[in-house]
Amino acid sequence: MKKLFKCTICGFISEGEEAPEKCPKCLQGKDKFVELSTEDADKIYQSDRTNDIHMEIIALTDKIAVLCKEGLDIKLDPNCVGVFEKAKNESWTIKQRSKAELAGHMTNGKW
Ligand SMILES: [Zn+2]
């Protein structure tokens, strides 16, 4: 089973048999890496996919917001405008909820 090593300077996580010679992010040497415990490594593996899903949701909400703005600019009729306004606000809520969840993951070492 592969091991995970964390850069103590920037937090970069490296996977492999041993720590990299240099951190790919902050360029510090191998001596700045510590091996993660199985428990901490499990958290990272388990959250890897869900973090990707949250990021994809965040990107989709930006797309929804752009579409809503286009719909609002057309101003077809009051009902249509109302639907776009609601969708725009809801996309903001969805985005912020996923961002908050991601921030929670980071704090808990799930990334
Ligand atoms: Zn680093």
pLDDT computed for residue 1 by the predictor: 66
Q: How many residues does this entry show for the chain?
A: 111
**Same domain as 52, residue 29:** no
For residue 16, what pLDDT band results from cuts at 50, 70 and 90? very high
Residue 43 lies in a domain: no
Give the three-state DSSP class for 6: strand
pLDDT computed for residue 98 by the predictor: 98
Residue 12 lies in a domain: yes
**Same domain as 94, residue 70:** yes
For residue 51, report the distance from its CA to the centre of ligand 1, in Å.
21
Q: Which residue in this structure is represented by tokens 């510090």?
A: 28
Q: CB–CB of 61/94 below 8 Å?
A: yes
- Secondary element (H or E) of residue 39: helix 38-74
pLDDT digits (tens, 9 = 90+) for 5-14: 999 999 999 9
Residue 58 lies in a domain: yes
For residue 80, report the distance from its CA to the centre of ligand 1, in Å.
50
Domain hosting residue 72, numbered range: 48-111
Mutual angle of helices 78-107 and 38-74, in 10-degree steps: 160
For residue 48, report the distance from its CA to the centre of ligand 1, in Å.
19
Query: Assign residue 37 a region: left if phi > 0, alpha if psi is -120 to 50, beta otherwise?
Result: beta
pLDDT digits (tens, 9 = 90+) for 34-86: 999 999 999 999 999 999 999 999 999 999 999 999 999 999 999 999 999 99
Q: CB–CB of 39/4 below 8 Å?
A: no
For residue 103, report the distance from its CA to the centre of ligand 1, in Å.
20
